[in-house]
Amino acid sequence: MEFARASSVFNAMEPIVVSFFEEHILPNYPLKCSCEKCTTDIIVLTLNHLKPQYTSTQAGQAYIKALYMNPQMQSDILQELARSVQTVESKPQHQPHE
C-alpha cells in the first residue's frame, strides 16, 4: 500500500507551537539571537519533543487546537519551548557573525 502524497497530511502542532513562541516567548524573553536560523531551530526542537498531532482536515485541525486550550497542555508546550530556547542559545548552529 502506497501513501498518496495528494492527500494533505498536516501536523496541527506546528501552528500551535509557532503561535505560542510568538505570543509568549518573543515578547517576554530576550533571546540571545533572534535570527531566522535560531528561531526555526527552537521551533523544530520543540516540535521534535512534543507528540505530533496529525490530521488531514480543517475540522481535525480545529479539534486539536481546541484540545490545546487546556491549561496543562499549554504549560507542556511552554515548558518545552523554554527547554528548546536554552538548548539553542547554549549551542547555536551558526557562527556568531551570521
Q: What is the pLDDT of residue 97?
A: 54
Residue spans per domain, the chain: 10-90
Q: Is the pLDDT of residue 2 over 60?
A: no
- Cα torsion 75, 80, 85, 87: sign: positive
Q: Is the pLDDT of residue 1 over 50?
A: no
Q: What is the pLDDT of residue 12?
A: 94
Highest mean pLDDT among 32-36, 58-62, 79-83, 90-94: 79-83
Cβ–Cβ < 8 Å for 28, 81: no
- Residues 28-48 pLDDT 10s: 989 999 899 999 999 999 999
